[in-house]
Amino acid sequence: DQQVKQNSPSLSVQEGRISILNCDYTNSMFDYFLWYKKYPAEGPTFLISISSIKDKNEDGRFTVFLNKSAKHLSLHIVPSQPGDSAVYFCAMKSKGAGSYQLTFGKGTKLSVIP
Amino acid sequence: GAGVSQSPRYKVAKRGQDVALRCDPISGHVSLFWYQQALGQGPEFLTYFQNEAQLDKSGLPSDRFFAERPEGSVSTLKIQRTQQEDSAVYLCASSSNSDTQYFGPGTRLTVL
């Protein structure tokens, strides 16, 4: 059963508007959450992360929100730019010694229209 | 500084051939990970090294898959007697603290 779900395979947004990417998870042991961006023929590039002790982390145009009670993670990009067009993956890892592997969603393809 | 590098970037193998995929992690990164990404899916964990020690190989799909990191730096993922279902992108990642992992560009393996 999938522990991490990105229910929107794709999203189109006008340049300058807000992009909101969503991710839901089922494993309550997850305590560190990341977003990666992936261009074609490249590996995932780390964007931003958040630990379970916070509910928001901001870095420039990127803000990640964590709602632990709803087991929901989101990434906001404001303002969206054409160069943001890529596949976005949420990933998470669980707490405890020896916990290191990331569990990924299937990705959401963002298209920012000029 | 230099990121994670992987070679070759593309590999085509005939079914039954053995392949070796190389990963050069970020200098000084203790942790190294291999992931497999099938088309339309997110990366899935294969194995994890801390320095030269392989601490977890629970994600390796069969005993045809073998990984090593003998000197705690470069790692090689070897797949013996490749099958069509092995076709995927193989991603290597490294980390200094096991929280944030930095990925290489991947090796796209196609088994004919």
Nearest to B102 among A42, A46, A100 (CB): A46
Residue A8 CA to its chain's centroid (Å): 12
Tell me whether residues A93 and B91 touch, CB distance under 8 A. no
Selection from A3, A7, A1 nearest residue A108 by Cα: A7
Q: What is the pLDDT of residue A100?
A: 83
Q: What is the pLDDT of residue A97?
A: 60
Query: Which residues of chain A have a CB within 8 Å of the CB of B43?
Result: 44, 89, 102, 104
Q: Cβ B56–A43 below 8 Å, yes or no?
A: no
Percent of chain B at pLDDT above 90? 93
> Which of A46, A105, A106 shows the shortest C-beta gap to B100?
A46
Each domain of chain A, given as residue ranges in start order, spans 4-96
Answer yes or no: are the C-beta atoms of B20 and B96 closer than 8 Å: no
Mean of pLDDT over chain B: 95
Contact yes or no for A94/A27 (Cβ under 8 A): yes
* Residue A102, pLDDT score: 93
**Is the Cβ–Cβ distance between A47 and A58 less than 8 Å?**
no
Secondary structure, 3-state, A29-92: CEEEEEEEEECCCCCCEEEEEEECCCCEEEECCEEEEEECCCCEEEEEECCCCHHHCEEEEEEE
Q: Where are the domains of chain B?
A: 5-111
pLDDT of B91 higher than 70? yes
- Chosen from A101, A103, A104 to mutate, greatest number of chain B CBs within 10 A: A101
Task: Identify the CATH assignment for B5-111 out of 1.10.10.410, 2.60.40.10, 2.40.70.10, 2.40.50.140.
Answer: 2.60.40.10
Partnered with residue A11 across adjacent β-strands are A110
pLDDT in tens, B52-79: 999 999 999 999 999 999 999 999 999 9
pLDDT per position as a tens digit, A53-96: 999 999 999 999 999 999 999 999 999 999 999 999 999 998 76
Return the CATH superfamily for domain A4-96: Immunoglobulins (2.60.40.10)
What are the structure tokens assigned to A51, written together?
């630990």
For A109, which residue in chain B has the nearest alpha carbon? Answer: B40
Q: Do B101 and A107 touch (CB under 8 A)?
A: no
Question: Is residue A114 within 8 Å of residue A82, measured between CB atoms?
Answer: yes
Phi, psi angle pair for A82, to nearest 5°: -55, -35
Q: What single letter denotes the amino acid at residue A37?
A: K
